[in-house]
Amino acid sequence: MAKPPLSMKPTGWFQVAWSAEIGVGDVHRMHYFGRELIAWRSAAGDVAVMDAYCEHLGAHLGYGGHVEGDRIVCPFHGWEWNRDGRNVCVPYEKHPNKGRRIRSYPVAELNESIFIWHDVEGRPPYFDVPDMFAAFGDGKTAADYYPPIPGATLFREQLEIHPQYIMENGVDFAHFKFVHKTPFMPEFTRHDFSGPISFVDFTIAFDEGTTLENATSGVESINAGLGCSITKSWGMVENRTMPAVTPVDEHTSDVRFTVWIGRKPGEENTGPTQYGKSMAAFVIEQFEADVHIWAHQRYSDPPALSPKEFAGFRALRTWAAQFYPDTPAPNGATGLSAVRSHS
Ligand code: FES
Ligand SMILES: [Fe+2]
């Protein structure tokens, strides 16, 4: 496998599970950022994510570890660890081993999902995962949408996809016509890459015969770092989506996609109807068309951009660079400065 020329250890929030996968008392094994991890849910309902190995003699807590109250108990010698990875009990000694700590990760649980904050330098989170509803500030809530779990999700494991590929969709107007078969190339109405959370809005339509001039629909997206985006459509099938790409190792990432379809007005608060299901399937199909490209793409640096593409890609790649541990100075080395128009 080819290693992408971009770091697979970016800083930010990354989805590691859907909430429904980890019930109270569950211990869930996972592998991200080249590490064996466990996620477990305490009796009070809080999720903890930490390295999988017990600091005592190295048992894997995901094989036989169990939750008691707000602690996880190692299956090997019964040592107990809290959500911060602190040892709180050695069952055959008077005192816990206060000096030892299992590496744990900041966790956010929202949008039906569990995210961890990853930063190789161990810095605390400096931005938040945007709430699927509150972040768009339009008064809509989860009750206005069919619940996405189960059914309106896509999970693809260990694809050769780097999280940045998917963010580049936000400046890549030309792909919509070819990958998503839109009748015209969308026009971006907002590109704001000034902070770690970026905003991209564009006009788009799927109905044949629609033109940019008469289109009355579009998409707004909020990108929180490289791992997590939320999108909202307007003027067409009401939907919100959350694509999330999480590095597994130096070559591959897991891809998750969650789709909320807007209920028809006046409809009761039920599970997805046939309409809801078929709309979700359509939205997922569009995303799969992207995944098919990304999974086989080779990162092009410097890319052969057309004059119209230059500014957008430069802005996106400059923004993305802030999340890499070895971030070059903006006019420094690899990646960015190398983005060049072909003309
Ligand atoms: S290895 Fe975990 S308690 Fe001994
Ligand atoms: Fe796309």
Regarding the beta carbon of 56 and ligand 1, being less than 6 Å apart is answered yes
Domain boundaries, the chain: 12-118, 134-294, 304-341
Percentage of the chain beyond pLDDT 70 is 94
**Does pLDDT of 340 surpass 70?**
no
What is the C-alpha separation between 135 and 220, in angstroms, rounded? 11
> How many alpha carbons lie under 13 Å from residue 21 in its C-beta half-sphere?
17
CB 79 within 8 A of CB 89: yes
pLDDT in tens, 261-289: 999 877 777 777 888 899 999 999 999 99
Please give the CATH superfamily to which domain 134-294 belongs: Naphthalene 1,2-dioxygenase Alpha Subunit; Chain A, domain 1 (3.90.380.10)
Task: Please tell me if the CB atom of residue 91 comes closer than 6 angstroms to any atom of ligand 1.
Answer: no
The answer to whether the CB of 54 is under 6 A from ligand 1 is yes
C-alpha atoms less than 13 angstroms from C-alpha of 220 in its C-beta half-sphere = 10
SS3 per-residue string spanning 90-159: CCCCCCCCCCCECCEECEEEECCEEEEEECCCCCCCCCCCCCCCHHHCCCCCHHHECCCCCCCEEEEEEE
Distance 77 CA to ligand 1 centre (A): 5
Q: Residue 14: name the closest of 252, 243, 287 by CA.
A: 243
90 Cα: distance to centroid of ligand 1 (angstroms):
9
Q: Which ligand 1 atom is nearest residue 59's CA?
A: 1
Q: State the pLDDT at residue 137.
A: 93
77 lines ligand 1 (CB under 6 A): yes
The residues pairing with 67 across neighbouring beta strands, listed in sequence order, are: 72
Distance CA 324, CA 322 (A): 6
Q: How far is the CA of 190 from the centre of ligand 2 (A)?
A: 17
Q: Which of 162, 169, 170, 177 is nearest to 298 (CA)?
A: 162
Sorting pLDDT into bands at 50, 70 and 90, what band is 332? very low
At residue 4, the pLDDT reads 62
Instruction: Decide yes or no: CATH 3.10.129.10 for domain 12-118.
Output: no
State in Å: Cα 169 to ligand 2 middle: 5
The pLDDT assigned to 1 comes to: 56
* CA of 51 relative to ligand 1 center, distance in Å: 14
Contact predicate 228/12, CB 8 Å: yes
Tokens of 96: 């816990």
**Using CA of residue 201, residue 128, residue 141, residue 274, what is the dihedral sign?**
positive
Q: What is the pLDDT of residue 192?
A: 94
DSSP secondary structure string, 173-234? HHHHHHHS--SS--EEEEEE-SSSEEEEEEE---STT--TTT---EEEEEEETTTEEEEEEE
Coil vs helix vs strand at 48: strand
What is the pLDDT confidence band of residue 209, given thresholds at 50, 70 and 90? confident
Question: Which two three-digit tokens encode residue 319?
Answer: 């923004």
Question: Can 12-118 and 134-294 be said to share one CATH topology?
Answer: no
Which residue out of 63, 68, 76, 90 has the highest number of ligand 1 atoms within 8 Å of its CB and is therefore the one to mutate?
Answer: 76
User: Of 171-175, 236-240, 256-260, 324-328, which gets the smallest average pLDDT?
Assistant: 324-328
**Helix or strand (DSSP H, E) at 291:** helix 274-294
Cβ-based neighbour number of residue 325 at 10 Å: 11
Give the position, in ligand 1's atom list, of the atom nearest the Cα of 58: 1
Question: For the ranges 18-32, 57-71, 107-121, 185-199, which has the lowest average pLDDT?
Answer: 185-199
Q: 151 or 69: which carries more pLDDT confidence?
A: 69
* pTM confidence score: 0.92
Q: Which ligand is nearest to the CA of 91?
A: 1
Ligand 1 test: best mutation among 38, 57, 61, most atoms within 8 Å of CB? 57
CA atoms lying within 13 Å on the CB side of residue 332:
8
Q: Find residue 159's DSSP bridge partners.
A: 253
Give dist(CA 41, CA 109) in Å, integer: 11
| In contact, 47 and 106? CB cutoff 8 Å | no
Lowest mean pLDDT segment, chosen from 9-18, 81-90, 155-164, 177-186: 177-186
- Residue 313's H or E segment, with its range, is helix 307-321
pLDDT of 326 strictly over 80: no
Asked whether 59 lines ligand 1 (CB < 6 A), one says yes
For residues 221 and 228, what is the distance between their CA atoms, to the nearest angstrom?
11
What DSSP designation does 59 have?
Answer: -
Task: Give 30 Cα–ligand 1 centroid separation in angstroms.
Answer: 20
Torsions phi, psi of 221, nearest 5? -135, 145
Q: Of the ligands numbered here, which is closest to the C-alpha atom of 57?
A: 1
CA 125/CA 106 separation, integer angstroms? 8
The ligand that comes nearest to the alpha carbon of residue 177 is: 2
The residue whose CA is least distant from atom 3 of ligand 1 is 77
Mean pLDDT of the region 119-146: 94
